[in-house]
Amino acid sequence: MTAPAIKIEGLSKSYNGSDALSGVNITIPDGQFFGLLGPNGAGKSTTINILTGLVRRNSGNITVFGKDIERDYRFTRSQIGTAQQELSVDWFFPIEKLLQYQAGYYGISPKKSRGRIEELLNRLGLWSKRKSRLRQLSGGMKRRFQLAKALVHNPKIIILDEPTAGIDVELRHELWDYLRQLHQQGKTILLTTHYIEEAELLCEYVSIIHKGKVIAEGAPKNLINKRGKAGITIHLKQWEDTLQELLKPYTYTRKKSQLHFTVKDAETEISKIINLISKNGCQIQRVELTKSTLEDVFLSLTGRGINEQTK
């Protein structure tokens, strides 16, 4: 059997005495599309930054194709291409030059990288911009450039930190298509996301990370079947603050006047919830029963929605 693409065991990290990661274990087989899913502050970037050598761990083991990321860092870094959230590159060179330099870090000569760069720029719709500086590119183009930069040395593993955060729907779908293609070509992909939809759509396997610990893992479908509960969405005419106290016994999230409940048994709970709300004089406009999603899994595990800061 071949070694896993990435194996993380007992990974811990603290910043100024406060734990960012407490004993994280993750195994990603070669060729898997893997998602590290969790709310802001869960520890996703810290995990990735340790994996790519930007941050030092306090304890734990990490191997890439069986080799230690510190002892064999030359090998392990050559296997990985990373697209970080922040761009930390020179703004003054044409983007094709930046890609050439990036390839150079991996010992690939300009002559050898030329074809690959042309192919990537074409594939990512950046060929006509090859002579432009980064600051002349739109936000979406910068994202695509980041991906080109991660791929220029043709790594086996691609790590993407929140690849679609803050980009429009159209580009998000384009990127998803491209990531699916890379996966089909046999690449191992690790992406972090706090978009449940993204993890459900793309990933074969996810680890849900919360407060520095992996609290659940599995194929999205299995997680949903095992832990997911039914969802009830109630659209109110108007939210009333008095509802907060009344609904305390329930696990729910709220977006303006729309409430999403996660319950074990929708049929018995739905009438109770409706009664409770209407007794309070609130008007209900619409009620929907929804299939369980990873959001319901997260909610049932943590008691709060993935994008909620506090409750």
Binding of ligand ADP at residue 214 (CB under 6 A)? no
> What is the closest distance, in whole angstroms, from the C-beta atom of residue 170 to ligand ADP in the complex?
25
Of 217, 235, 222, 225, whose CA–CA distance to 274 is shortest? Answer: 235
Total residues in contact with ligand ADP, by rule CB under 6 A: 10
Per-position b or e across 96-110, b if 16+ CB within 10 A of its CB: bbbbbebbeeeebee
List the one residue from 32, 45, 193, 207 that touches ligand ADP (CB under 6 A). 45
> What is the closest distance, in whole angstroms, from the C-beta atom of residue 14 to ligand ADP in the complex?
9
Phi, psi of 67 (to 5 degrees): -110, 140
Binding of ligand ADP at residue 46 (CB under 6 A)? yes
Site map 114..153 versus ligand ADP, x via CB under 6 A: ----------------------------------------
Binding of ligand ADP at residue 42 (CB under 6 A)? yes
Binding residues for ligand ADP restricted to 9-38, rule: CB under 6 A: 15, 20, 38
Contact 282, 238 (CB under 8 A): yes
At 216, list the tokens. Answer: 């659940």
> Position 116: which residue type?
R
Residue 212 or 228: which CB sits closer to ligand ADP? 212
Helix (H, G, I), strand (E, B) or coil at 66: coil
Q: How far apart are CA 209 and CA 45, in angstroms?
A: 11
CA 28 to the chain's CA centroid: 15
Binding of ligand ADP at residue 94 (CB under 6 A)? no
Residues binding ligand ADP (CB under 6 A): 15, 20, 38, 40-46
